[in-house]
Chains A and B, each alone.
Chain A
Amino acid sequence: MTPTDRFTGFVDRARAAGRLVVQPRMGFGELHRMRAGLRAVREADATTVGTVTLDSYTRCHDDGTARRALRDDPAGLNGFPLLAHGVPAVRSLLQDCSSAGFPVQVRHGTPLPLRLFRAMAEAGADATEGGPVSYCLPYGRVPLARAVAEWSAGCALLAAQPVPPHIETFGGCMLGQLCPPSLLVALSVLEAMFFQEHGLRGISLSYAQQIHQGQDLEALAALRRLAGERLSTPHHLVLYTFMGVFPRTEAGSRRLLADSARLAVRGGAERLVVKTPAEAHRIPTVEENVASLEYAASVAAATAADRERSPRATESGLYEEARTLVDATLETGRTVGDCLAAAFARGVLDVPYCLHPDNANRARATIDDRSMLGWSRAGAMPVTATATAPVTARRLTELLTFNRRRFDRDAVPHPLRSAS
């Protein structure tokens, strides 16, 4: 039997102990800063795993620019240039910083992951993430069929390692915001099935916090149920703190982060990837990341001790809609990979507003009068839509800034409320 990777094992132990695992987004150009960042996360007062986020030149396979930037202006890189540093340096970094008690995930964001997966495996990364759809459609112009083929080869390469690393779907985070949860759940499950089909056994399924706590609870329940029905391997759920337009105020940002920690506990997610208030403006510092991790962990602990005040999940038929999308996709081909490419070609899967040439981009999402995400145009997808007026730039801004406005508004001290 294949041994369990350290990342899967760590999250399993935390689950058994009733603790939420929290994780930052973090990537620095220089080795010494990356090392210091990982150590600070490891030492944080929370149950943490580490993150190495790659810079966008490496993601785009622009190795020359990544190498020049590392030489001339490493502090100007927006992440860690794994290939420019080279495998021996990265292996040494991970040996210094990671352990069974602090596994590290490498986050990369590329539709063509093969050479990065090879380097990660050689360097001893515990985990990575993404998916043939979620790291293709939102990230540019690589044809989906090509991404599927390379993800197939990349997953096979990882599965052939003595200890195959853990892998997480990014399908539950498509475009960061304004994607109806049924599609997020369906894509996350389909990408997990894709990983399993290629022999990977340490799997987690992502979902990104959206705009309505009850709907998000319903989505997490649907994700857990559908994953349980479609996967034969043990798995866990990872929630992302809202990834869209963030509140401007410190207080609003903290409330949004706190809401995501409560949602993770109440929705039964085992792991939470946090945001920092600074991310509305720039890449956060190590200290800001640690502060967010510790704050999220403290809110999670308080929530775990007080389960009675949990808001209720909505009952909007989200599971049924996600299941219908998964089934309609799986009817289109033989392998999960083929099905994903065929389903997007036919518009059976269609990510609203996504400009990728292989996405139909006929479906549209909106926020309804209950403040829930829903469909305003179904395209060719088997979903229920409520027609609304076409979206203008002003309306799109309203939709994208829904959480910013809500949390910044509520963050302002209210004289009557505080007096009562």
Chain B
Amino acid sequence: MNVTACAGRRLRVVVSGLSSDAHLWNLVHLQLFLEDLGHEVANLGNTTPDATIVEACRTGRPDLLVLSTVNGHGRTDGLRLIRALRAVPSLAALPVVIGGKLGIDGRDHAGTRLTAAGYDAVFDDAAEGGPESGLARFESFLGALAAGHSRGGPAAGAGAA
């Protein structure tokens, strides 16, 4: 395995917003953030229907799905999406993470419910006091996933946990 200094293997990552969220800069930034770390990104953009995300993961077989949302509907839309994703047998172990502003009031911390529903990690701005610490934790998550990852192997999900 060709391990580079910081990132391990080059991950194939799908980045997407959620169905009701029109915010864009978070997705542009995440794409650059991942590419700067050497990963390969397919950016599905904003207001992406659940079915489009599920289909992109089924056909593209990425190493990781990264969902970013800031319009306050993340706790609702995120729960619905992860159930749809986990219902597809081939996506049951796909590492999936979600982050951003997940509720509208800046207080309702949705992380536990989202993790229980099947997310491998939740980066909640409200719980972490802003996006910076979440982004740092996301980078550590990526490092662990890239280091532990072997394409097609059974360890992909475990590496994320």
Contacts and interface: CB of A to CB of B under 8 A. Distances in A.
The 10 closest A-B pairs by CB, nearest first: A140-B47, A393-B32, A282-B106, A393-B33, A355-B45, A56-B20, A139-B22, A78-B72, A281-B106, A393-B36
B155 interface: no
B20 A138 contact: no
5 contacts: A60-B19, A76-B72, A138-B24, A283-B104, A355-B45
B24 A56 contact: no
A57 B36 CA distance: 34
A32 interface: no
Interface in B7-28: 19-22, 24-25, 27-28
Nearest to A400: B25
Contacts of A141: 45, 47-48
Interface of B: 19-22, 24-25, 27-29, 32-33, 35-36, 43, 45-48, 71-73, 76, 101, 103-106
A246 to B, nearest CB: 13
B22 A138 contact: yes
A77 B71 CA distance: 10
A77 B77 CA distance: 12
B20 A139 contact: no
Contacts of A140: 22, 45-48
Given A355-B27, A393-B29, A400-B25, A76 B76 contact: yes
Contact of A78 (B19, B24, B25, B71): B71
Nearest to B80: A65
A397 B29 contact: yes
B25 A175 contact: yes
Nearest to B130: A248
A385 B96 CA distance: 39
Contacts of B35: 393
Nearest to B75: A76
B76 A139 contact: no
A111 to B, nearest CB: 9
A394 interface: yes
**Size class of A's contact patch?**
20 to 34
A391 B31 CA distance: 12
Nearest to B125: A281
Given A175-B25, A393-B32, A282 B104 contact: yes
A266 interface: no
Nearest to A60: B20
* Majority SS at the chain B contact face: loop
Contacts of B71: 56, 78
B28 A69 contact: no
Contact of B72 (A59, A176, A283, A354): A283
A396 B32 contact: yes
A62 interface: yes
B134 to A, nearest CB: 14
Contacts of A394: 36
Contacts of B19: 60, 62
Given A355-B24, A393-B33, A396-B32, 20 more contacts: A56-B20, A56-B22, A56-B73, A59-B22, A62-B19, A76-B72, A76-B103, A138-B22, A138-B46, A139-B46, A139-B47, A140-B46, A244-B25, A281-B106, A353-B24, A353-B28, A357-B45, A392-B36, A396-B28, A400-B29
Nearest to A76: B104
A391 B106 contact: no
A391 B32 CA distance: 8
A109 interface: yes
Contacts of B47: 60, 139-141
Nearest to B103: A76
A294 to B, nearest CB: 24
A275 B3 CA distance: 47
Nearest to B27: A355
Contacts of B28: 353, 355, 396
A356 interface: yes
Nearest to A77: B104
Interface in A60-89: 60, 62, 65, 69, 76-78
B24 A175 contact: yes
Contacts of A57: 20, 73
Contacts of A56: 20-22, 71, 73
A141 B73 CA distance: 19
A392 B32 contact: yes
Contacts of B73: 56-57, 78
A60 B73 CA distance: 13
A282 B24 CA distance: 17
Nearest to A394: B36
